[in-house]
């Protein structure tokens, strides 16, 4: 059987890490077996769906490397949903209901007061034609519920193993709103069944949807796909909201995170595998196995994401970095990249170090100007290489007796204006003799 999976976001906002984890797992699951990956925009909610969000979803997925093999939009398929509605109505599995939301709320409160579960009581099944006509005359429009059969609903979940529901314990779901718009529960089944989706992998918040959708698939004559429900992401603050600021992919990209740092983290949290950086999706694919995902909530930690980002940059070869450095406006060669890449949190910080080396710095207020003055006279002549820093500092030690931080820190501050950064043996040749001498003199002039 050829694997065919889908990622089906609603274009009502930007993709967040929870969305992307689902997309990534589906992409990896499909490509691991040579299958196909569908991007489907679930945009039947015309009031909230926005074209700019649809475009952003595509842009973010491409940036992450999660390119799709097929593309669909639910807004193109209202005819198919209407046909499914007709089929289910004719078979007696879809029935009209006329209760208002207020009436349903009152019933639920009454059920709760009696210790009963908040399951729809199917009162609309008992309506006579005259009663339906009366409601229509009052201006009430019908919404439609799916009649669940009182039988066990079971499936083998790719993540949760065996899952069982009793049909009698689940409320008949509304499939079509009073304005005629099909809800996700119906539209998703119609699309998955028509196109032949073989596996549906999504968040565990959809488990109850799956329970009713299994019967909808069968009622429409489709074989239900295999299902897998991933545990939801959790932060230190609690469950990850779909719209937490800073956790949408656009914000992470603008903050300078590498796409493979995001992919590496999201593919491994919640599994039995160690979280480590992968240089590309092919490398990540080799280690992927859906069976390694567990039921415990997966902990999403920005600190860990930053750690992965730093590791990827520290091991990024110059040819991969070169075009991006050029895009930053830097005429940087491999020597520069080797000097700074181990100290970058984001690639954009390379420009900061370029400016330190080639621009103006804030001259520090060096207390021991006599020491800096003495060091300036011991600066070795050019040409310089990575050994020049050692030659210089050994000469300073012989002259002043200074060692360790007492020797190094004032020199670093004088030459870079900072008290941290890449190794000075790599930076000194890039600063150059004339600029280094001038910066030393600026500290005591």
Number of C-beta neighbours around residue 269 at 10 A:
22
Domain that holds residue 332: 318-358
State residue 53's pLDDT score: 97
Q: Could you read off the pLDDT tens digit of each residue along the chain, which spans 445 residues?
A: 799 999 999 999 999 999 999 999 999 999 999 999 999 999 998 889 999 999 999 999 999 999 999 999 999 999 999 999 999 999 999 999 999 888 888 888 887 778 778 889 999 999 999 999 999 999 999 999 999 999 999 999 999 999 999 877 889 999 999 999 999 999 999 999 999 999 999 999 999 999 999 999 999 999 999 999 999 998 876 555 444 456 899 999 999 999 999 999 999 999 999 999 999 999 999 999 999 999 988 899 999 999 999 999 999 999 999 999 999 999 999 999 999 999 999 999 999 999 999 999 998 888 788 999 999 999 999 999 999 999 999 999 999 999 999 999 999 999 999 999 999 999 999 999 999 999 999 987 6
The last residue of a domain, from among 176, 200, 219: 176
Flag whether 271 is in a domain: yes
Q: Kindly report the pTM of this predicted structure.
A: 0.91
Indicate whether 169 and 83 sit together in one domain.
yes
Whether 68 and 85 map to the same domain: the answer is: no
Nearest residue to 300 via CA among 229, 228, 227, 249: 249
Instruction: Indicate whether 339 and 292 sit together in one domain.
Output: no
Domain end residue (candidates: 328, 358, 388):
358
Based on the fold, state whether residues 345 and 387 are members of the same structural domain: no
Give the largest CA-CA distance in the chain. 107
Residue-level pLDDT at 237: 64
Q: What is the CATH number of the domain that holds 163?
A: 3.90.800.10
Task: Report pLDDT for 17.
Answer: 95
83 and 142 assigned to the same domain: yes
How far apart, in whole angstroms, are the C-alpha atoms of residue 16 and residue 23? 11
The reply to whether 212 falls in a domain is no
- Bridging pattern class, strands 70-73 and 238-239: unpaired
What CATH number has the domain bearing residue 277? 3.40.50.620
Contact 300, 271 (CB under 8 A): no
Q: Which residues contact 369 (CB under 8 A, 6 or more apart)?
A: 443, 444
For residues 237 and 291, state if they share a domain.
Answer: yes
Same domain, yes or no, for 143 and 168?
yes
Would residue 429 count as lying in a domain? Answer: yes
Cβ count near 93 (within 10 Å)? 20
HEC string for the chain: CCCEEEECCCCCCCCEHHHHHHHHHHHHHHHHCCCEEEEEECCCCCCCCCHHHHHHHHHHHHHHCCCCCEEEEHHHCHHHHHHHHHHHHHCCCEEEECCCHHHHHHHHHHHHHCCCCCCCCCHHHHCCHHHHHHHHHCCCCCEEEECCCCCEEEEEECCCEEEEEEHHHCCCCEEECCCCCECHHHHHHHHHHHHCCCEEEEEHHHHHHHHHHHHHHHHCCCCCCEEEEECCEEECCEECCCCCCCCEHHHHHHCCCCHHHHHHHHHHCCECCCCCCCCCHHHHHHHCCHHHECCCCEECCHHHHHHHHHHHHHCCCHHHHHHHHHHCCCCCCHHHHHHHHHHCCCCCHHHHHHHHHHCCCCCCCCCCHHHHHHHHHCCCCCCCCCCHHHHHHHHHHHHHCCCHHHHHHHHHHHHHCCCCCCCHHHHHHHHCHHHHHHHHHHCCC
Provide the number of structural domains found in the chain.
Answer: 4
> What is the Cα–Cα distance from 22 to 8, expressed in whole angstroms?
9
pLDDT at position 242? 45
Q: Can you give the pLDDT at residue 163?
A: 96
The pLDDT score that the predictor gives to residue 60 is 98
**Cis before residue 383, ω within 30 degrees of 0?**
yes
Is there a single domain that holds both residue 86 and residue 148?
Answer: yes
198 lies in a domain? no
Residue 205 inside a domain? The answer is no
Is the residue at 107 inside a domain?
Answer: yes
CATH (domain of 421): 1.10.10.350
Long-range contacts of the stretch 281-290 (C-beta < 8 A, 24+): 281/27, 281/28, 281/31, 281/65, 281/66, 284/28, 284/260, 285/28, 285/31, 285/32, 288/28, 288/29, 288/32, 290/25, 290/29, 290/158, 290/159, 290/201, 290/228
For residues 347 and 373, state if they share a domain: no
In a domain, 194, yes or no: no
Q: Are residues 262 and 351 located together in one domain of the fold?
A: no
Place of tokens 């890490």: 17
**Pairwise CA distance, residues 20 & 263, whole Å:** 9
Structural domain contains residue 347: yes
User: What is the predicted pLDDT for the residue at 246?
Assistant: 64
43 and 110 share one domain: no
Residues 6+ apart with CB under 8 A from 171: 118, 119, 120
The whole-number pLDDT of residue 243 equals: 41
Do 90 and 2 belong together in one domain?
A: no
Answer with the one of 150, 176, 202 that is the final residue of a domain.
176
């Amino acid at each position: 059987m050829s694997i065919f999976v889908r990622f089906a976001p609603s274009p009502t906002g930007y993709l967040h890490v929870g969305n992307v984890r689902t997309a990534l797992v589906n992409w990896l699951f499909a490509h691991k077996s040579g299958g196909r990956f569908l991007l489907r925009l679930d945009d039947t909610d015309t009031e909230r769906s926005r074209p700019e969000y649809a475009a952003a979803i595509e842009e973010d997925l491409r940036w992450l490397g999660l390119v799709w093999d097929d593309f669909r939009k639910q807004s193109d398929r209202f005819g198919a949903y209407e046909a499914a509605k007709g089929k289910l109505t004719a078979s007696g599995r879809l029935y009209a209901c006329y209760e208002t939301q207020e009436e349903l709320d009152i019933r639920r409160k009454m059920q709760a007061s009696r210790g009963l579960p908040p399951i729809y009581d199917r009162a609309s099944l008992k309506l006579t034609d005259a009663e339906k006509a009366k409601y229509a005359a009052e201006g009430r429009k019908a919404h439609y519920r799916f009649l669940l059969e009182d039988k066990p609903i079971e499936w083998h979940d790719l993540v949760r193993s065996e899952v069982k529901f009793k049909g009698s314990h689940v409320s008949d779901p509304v499939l079509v709103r009073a304005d005629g718009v099909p809800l996700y529960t119906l539209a998703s089944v119609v699309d998955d069944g028509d196109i032949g989706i073989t596996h549906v992998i999504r968040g565990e918040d959809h488990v109850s949807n799956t329970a009713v959708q299994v019967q909808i698939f069968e009622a429409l004559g489709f074989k239900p796909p295999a299902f897998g429900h991933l545990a939801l992401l959790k932060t230190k603050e609690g469950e990850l909201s779909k719209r937490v600021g800073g956790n949408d992919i656009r914000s992470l990209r603008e903050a300078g995170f590498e796409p493979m740092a995001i992919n590496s983290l999201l593919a491994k949290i919640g599994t039995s595998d160690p979280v480590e950086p992968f240089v590309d999706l092919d490398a990540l694919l080799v280690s992927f196995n859906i069976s390694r995902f567990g039921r415990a909530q997966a902990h999403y930690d920005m600190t860990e994401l930053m750690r992965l980002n730093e590791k990827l940059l520290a091991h990024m070869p110059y040819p991969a970095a070169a075009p991006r450095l050029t895009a930053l406006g830097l005429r940087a060669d491999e020597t520069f990249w080797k000097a700074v890449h181990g100290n970058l949190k984001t690639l954009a910080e390379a420009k900061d170090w370029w400016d330190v080396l080639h621009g103006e710095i804030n001259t520090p207020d060096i207390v021991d100007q006599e020491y800096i003055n003495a060091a300036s006279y011991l600066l070795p002549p050019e040409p310089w290489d990575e050994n020049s820093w050692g030659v210089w500092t050994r000469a300073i030690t012989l002259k002043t007796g200074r060692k360790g931080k007492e020797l190094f820190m004032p020199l670093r501050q004088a030459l870079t204006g900072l008290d941290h950064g890449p190794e000075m043996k790599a930076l000194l040749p890039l600063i150059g003799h004339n600029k280094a001498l001038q910066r030393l003199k600026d500290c005591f002039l």
